[in-house]
């Protein structure tokens, strides 16, 4: 059962892209011949500047591919705007071991797709491709110009920075409300530059459009209950120095708990982190032979179990999803004890940290999850015994906020 569960989990992790919900959202693009095409564009919440887009003419229509050579502007309503421009592009290497000794950018003319971050009387645009980050500006309908920034090195491999862009901000965008100190604190980043361009447009009496709105994560609270199936692999070091492995019986026990989840503000809300304290208990008994005499050994254990981990959601539609989870966990013991023909001091109990992997399904506010918790040692302080606890749980949850 456990091996089958792990195989299913591995399969879903490698095929998760099949289920990932990426919506086709209302938008349009403008062709090279200035024709405006209303359509639905696949919003993939890009981190890097894309080279192509998927779109549909209607929501039920066929998926088509739009490449850079076939349009000059693309807009997803209230989310993204991309424009194609021929710009001065710095192709200097950004790799630390390949940095140039020249502090000046190695500009070459190149046609690229730029992401419009702020649009107004002055517009801020960006190009991002892994380690390459370049920002541009445009005044009115004028030409797009680069904000100059370059990382370079010296012969003794000291890393230096050309921050010419700050002088550009000071001279190209004079505003009484923007001080030189404000510009000195403006980093070469989307957040800082967006704040600057929003403020400058406001200074010019214009309310600019911010296409890439600041995202915030969301919190969810959940209560859940269900059952643990627990078993243990047990070994005893007997006084006559013979080691006996004991097959302890598996047992079902109830569990209940609460979970706090934080959905991370990127990648279409597909990743989250969580903490889910819950009640866990195990009572097991087994027998073994020592010098031809049958003996019995039992374990009683309960704890507040605290898994802390991550979750990856694969959306089926707006209301339902499959999710995978992984966690590390610690126990806060409540009751501990051993019995039968062999008893151990309660001070021997100290539970090692463990791991857990899970798979579940959620519909609206309801969820069901199966979770596997492999070997955890319950008797870390003992030199006479080893009790490795294995658990498998099924829980049903309800989201309260």
CA distance 381 to 235: 14
Domain boundaries, the chain: 16-210, 218-399
Residue 1 has pLDDT above 50, yes or no: no
Q: Model confidence over 82-98: pLDDT tens digits?
A: 999 999 999 888 777 78
Q: Model confidence over 250-305: pLDDT tens digits?
A: 889 999 999 999 999 877 788 999 999 999 999 988 877 777 777 788 889 999 99
Higher-pLDDT residue of 288 and 334 is: 334
Q: Model confidence over 161-191: pLDDT tens digits?
A: 999 999 999 999 999 989 999 999 999 999 9
Mean pLDDT of 197-218: 84
- Which residues, other chains included, contact 230 with Cβ-Cβ below 8 Å and sequence gap of 6+? 250, 251, 252, 253, 280, 282, 284, 389, 390, 391, 392
Which pTM value belongs to this model?
0.57
How big is the chain, counted in residues? 401
Higher-pLDDT residue of 28 and 319 is: 28
Mean pLDDT of 46-55: 88
Half-sphere exposure of 167 (CA within 13 A, CB side): 5
pLDDT > 90 fraction of the chain, expressed in percent and rounded: 58
3-class SS of residue 266: coil
In CATH, the number for domain 218-399 is 2.40.160
Mean pLDDT of 3-18: 45
pLDDT at 285: 86
- Would you put residue 273 in left (φ > 0), alpha (ψ -120 to 50) or beta? beta
């Amino acid at each position: 059962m456990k091996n089958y569960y792990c195989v299913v989990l591995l399969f879903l992790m490698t095929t998760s892209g099949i289920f990932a919900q990426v919506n086709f959202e209302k938008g349009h693009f403008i062709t090279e011949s200035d024709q405006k095409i209303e359509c639905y564009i696949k919003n993939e919440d890009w981190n890097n500047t894309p080279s192509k887009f998927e779109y549909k003419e209607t929501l039920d229509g066929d998926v088509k591919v739009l490449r850079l050579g076939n349009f000059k502007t693309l807009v997803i309503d209230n989310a993204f705007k991309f424009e194609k421009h021929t710009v001065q592009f710095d192709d200097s290497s950004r790799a630390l071991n390949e940095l140039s000794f020249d502090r000046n950018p190695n500009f070459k003319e190149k046609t690229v797709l730029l992401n419009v971050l702020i649009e107004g009387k002055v517009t801020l645009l960006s190009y991002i491709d892994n380690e390459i980050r370049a920002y541009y500006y445009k005044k009115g309908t004028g030409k797009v110009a680069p904000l100059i920034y370059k990382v370079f090195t010296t012969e003794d491999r000291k890393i230096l920075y050309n921050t010419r862009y700050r002088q550009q901000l000071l001279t190209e965008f004079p505003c009484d409300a923007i001080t030189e100190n404000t510009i000195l604190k403006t980093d070469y980043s989307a957040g800082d530059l967006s704040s600057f361009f929003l403020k400058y447009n406001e200074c010019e009496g214009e309310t600019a459009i911010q296409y890439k709105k600041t995202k915030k994560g969301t919190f969810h609270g959940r209560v859940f209950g269900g059952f643990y199936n627990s078993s243990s692999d047990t070994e005893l070091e007997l006084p006559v120095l013979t080691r006996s492995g004991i097959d302890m019986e598996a047992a079902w026990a109830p569990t209940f708990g609460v979970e706090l989840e934080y959905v991370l503000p990127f990648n279409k809300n597909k990743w989250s982190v969580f903490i889910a304290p819950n009640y866990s208990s195990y009572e097991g008994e087994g027998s073994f032979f020592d010098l031809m005499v049958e003996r019995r050994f039992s374990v009683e254990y309960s704890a507040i179990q605290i898994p802390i981990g991550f979750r990856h959601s694969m959306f089926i539609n707006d209301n339902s999803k499959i999710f995978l989870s992984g966690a590390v966990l610690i126990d806060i013991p409540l009751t501990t004890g051993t019995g039968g023909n062999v008893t151990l001091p309660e001070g021997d109990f100290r539970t090692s940290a463990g791991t857990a992997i899970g798979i579940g399904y959620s519909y609206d506010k309801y969820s069901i999850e199966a979770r596997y918790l492999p070997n955890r040692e319950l008797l870390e302080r003992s030199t006479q015994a080893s009790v490795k606890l294995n658990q498998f749980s099924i829980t049903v949850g309800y989201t309260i906020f």
